[in-house]
A = this chain, B = another copy of it.
Amino acid sequence: MNSDSIKALVFDVFGTVVDWRGSIIREGESTWRARGVDVDWPAFADAWRGLYQPAMARVRSGNRGFVKLDDLHRENLEQVLTDFGVSGLSDTDKDELNRIWHRLDPWPDTVAGLNRLKSKFIIATLSNGNISLIVNMAKRAKLPWDCVLGSEVSRQYKPHPEAYLNSVAALGLQPQQCLMVAAHNNDLLAAGEQGLNRAFVLRIGEHGEHQGTDTKAEHAFEFVAESFTDLADQLGCA
Q: List the 4 closest pairs (A to B, CB-CB), nearest first.
A: A132-B172, A131-B170, A135-B147, A147-B148
Partner of A172, one of B136, B145, B171: B136
| A117 beta carbon closer than 8 Å to chain B | no
Instruction: Report A143-164 CB contacts with B as 1/0, cut-off 8 Å.
Output: 0011111001100000000000
A126 within 8 A of B: no
> Is B138's CB under 8 angstroms from A146's CB?
yes
A219 at the interface (CB under 8 A from B): no
Chain A, 144-203, CB within 8 A of any chain B CB:
145-149, 152-153, 170-173
Question: Within the oligomer, what is the number of copies of this chain?
Answer: 2
Give the number of chain A interface residues (Cβ < 8 Å).
22
Q: Determine whether A70 belongs to the interface, using a CB cutoff of 8 Å to chain B.
A: yes
Alpha-carbon distance A24/B41, docked complex (angstroms): 57
- Tell me if A171 and B122 are in contact (CB < 8 A): no
Across-interface contacts of A173 in B (CB, < 8 A): 132
The 17 listed contacts between A and B (C-beta, < 8 Å) are A70-B172, A122-B139, A124-B135, A130-B170, A130-B172, A131-B149, A131-B153, A131-B170, A131-B171, A131-B172, A132-B171, A132-B172, A135-B147, A136-B172, A139-B146, A148-B148, A152-B170
Assess the B153–A135 pair: CB atoms within 8 A: no
